[in-house]
Structure 1
Amino acid sequence: MTQTPAHQQTSAHQHPALTATDPELAALVTAEERLQADTLRLIPSENYVSTAVLEASGTVLQNKYSEGYPGRRYYEGQQNIDQVERLAVARAKALFGTDHANVQPYSGSPANLAVYLAFAEPGDTVMGMALPMGGHLTHGWGVSATGKWFRGVQYAVRQDTGLVDFDAVRELALKERPKLIFCGGTALPRTIDFAAFAEIARESGAVLVADIAHIAGLVAGGAHPSPVPYADVISTTTHKTLRGPRGAMLLAREEHAKAIDKAVFPGLQGGPHNQTTAAIAVALHEAAQPSFRSYAHAVVANAKALAEALLARGFDLVSGGTDNHLVLMDLTSKDVPGKVAAKALDRAGIVVNYNTVPYDPRKPFDPSGVRIGTPSLTSRGLGTEHMAAVADWIDRGVRAAGTGDEDALPKIRGEVAELMTAFPAPGLPTA
């Protein structure tokens, strides 16, 4: 009698309909579940969503088309969909304390593009942090549509401190007079001074856009200052530290509400993804609970503890440490390229991403740095007492990458998997 492979048995147990229809795809989903369960996920833009968020993402709301906004749709049969979106909007406004919220953007980059459409014309000058300094592609960087359709000018961080030089930012803004100034980014380990950016935007006549995609959960949980009193518009994804589905939101002052809504629809998008809107509503409800506040502060405490443990092991950290969820390591002194280190750590069960560091002499696809973060491991329940072990695994993995000691990596992977077994991940099958 032919025996069914173990991975197909597991897949059939967890995903019976998917397994019956497409066993090949079901097996891949099961393999990913196992990978997320067994490895130490340190990519700062990743997290684990709750079972409730997963369930909301897969509901029959998938079947509805809903162009327009609640009460102003171009399709009938929206009685329930309108309530879902209104619920998500109300929760976003309450959680962040903002006048207006749009929960329809498909992801962070389209949300940022909507900001351009609302406030700028093609060819206008826009200003953001340079990508190699920790900024984001959509802040006017050349290879992005935002850098091709608009004239992007970039500010940097100081080479000696890794911190933003606000005198230089002000000088650039007054010289270039941009329509938009973006603050925030994708590899910034320090607190964003929204008040300082707001003063520069006011003085230069620019609209200030706070991109809090990485830190939205920290803001919601009171572990990072809020941009709401300072920024004209706030752009954020709903995953990462906020622990929601892959989506985005735009938050704004009431005076900008119509411009933002028109830019999202009909400016850039058709019907919203209603199943994602529902999952965003669930995530926002979870983020309003006292336990989420504890989680947000634990993310920062873990990141600081991990940074201290890495410094003690001789690692160079951009800006010397962290104030938030993210640590950016410069491996130049270790004589190990970031890409080589990241791939070795992956084989050791430690999932990171290679990343440029400020003033990096190496190319972006083969940079000097590695970017790590603590949202995922905090969601699993790891605390500051575990960060020395995490730093030790990273240290051993990087040293193994430098010496070519492949035998060391499976040993680390086994130790990682053993600890992960003691801290089951939210949303993942337990058997």
Structure 2
Amino acid sequence: MLAVKLHDIGEGMTEGEVVQYLVQVGDWVETDQPLVEIQTDKMIAEISSPCAGHVKEIIIEIGETVQVGTSLLYIESSNKEVEKQQQQPEEDISKREANMTSVVNFHRVLATPYTRKLARENNINIEDVPRADASGRVTEADVQQFIKYGEVNHSIVPEVQEKVLVESVHDVIPFMGIRKKIAEKMTKSLYTIPHVTHFDEVNMTNLFRIRSEMKASGESVSVTAFFIKALVVALKDYPIFNAELDEANDRILLKKSYHIGFATNTENGLLVPVVHNADEKSMKSIHKVVKDLSERAIAGKLQPFEMKNSTFTMSNVGPLGSTGATPIINYPETAIIAFHKTKRQPIFNDLDEIIVGHIMTFSMAFDHRVADGATAVAFTNRFASLIEQPHKLMMEMI
């Protein structure tokens, strides 16, 4: 028999939580067929079968967190299965072939661990749940709707029934996986770094005009791409904010790489994909990278290395309606900037004429051990000047 172990799915991974087994003891599996879902600190990954054969034993229970190298289940390889097949009656062989046919049609739907858990505890096959989301993802609301109006088998064992009742009474949300890791990291950041938050605003009128002109000519570049490019220019002028405090060796490390993380809200929690080497990319290239990373973050398909080694983080919460906030620094970085709601309001132009402008508020939190308020203001002023006068930003890219 072959032991299927938890291997290192991503960079530096040491442990994972068993979310769900996709097979049962006795099932026939093909090579590379997904066997079990594992929750790491950043993503949900599937462990696939290294060979064809029968599942003989499942060792680790759902919900347990185990170290890399731990055996999860045993598979009896296909060679032994062939020997057994030769001694089996034709009827059993037909059953096995039918089982293999179902394997060929194997299909996995997208859903969070909690949504799958809710379906399991209500004895629902998650693949039978109709999806309202155009992406095909099954949401918690879909499962609740199916429980309420669909055909649900309530023949659940008493222990599970009691657990479902308790959770429905208390509206229980499991505190685990990505949510727990976010909490740990935010707590470490807030209790380690003395945060100071600087608030300011920027005139987006010229940027919006240029984007409209670009769109009319067939070119589309997101505001986020402009933000990232302007941040890189400002960070080069004020490298103290592209730094990391090395307390153990009493030094501040000024990073020469510009890896810009951007906070992305997903069904699994807040993820921070990273645009690596943003200083080496064109605005158009940054736009494409951000779009790709955002879509895969929402779909839960990011790789661990795509969320690592950021040197500065931004959060664009304006589209959600935010008017102001004090963001928490993405430890061990030195600063984070958050962009808030853009409002139409009367402003004066260069000719002292009153026009309708687009004004966006933003806030920047920084590590007061590393930088001072005056430097933070200078940094944000530099950033704002590039956004308010996009031609200056274009000149920086020549």
TM-score (norm 2): 0.26
Higher helix proportion = 1
Largest Rg, 1 or 2: 2
Structure number having the greater strand percentage: 2
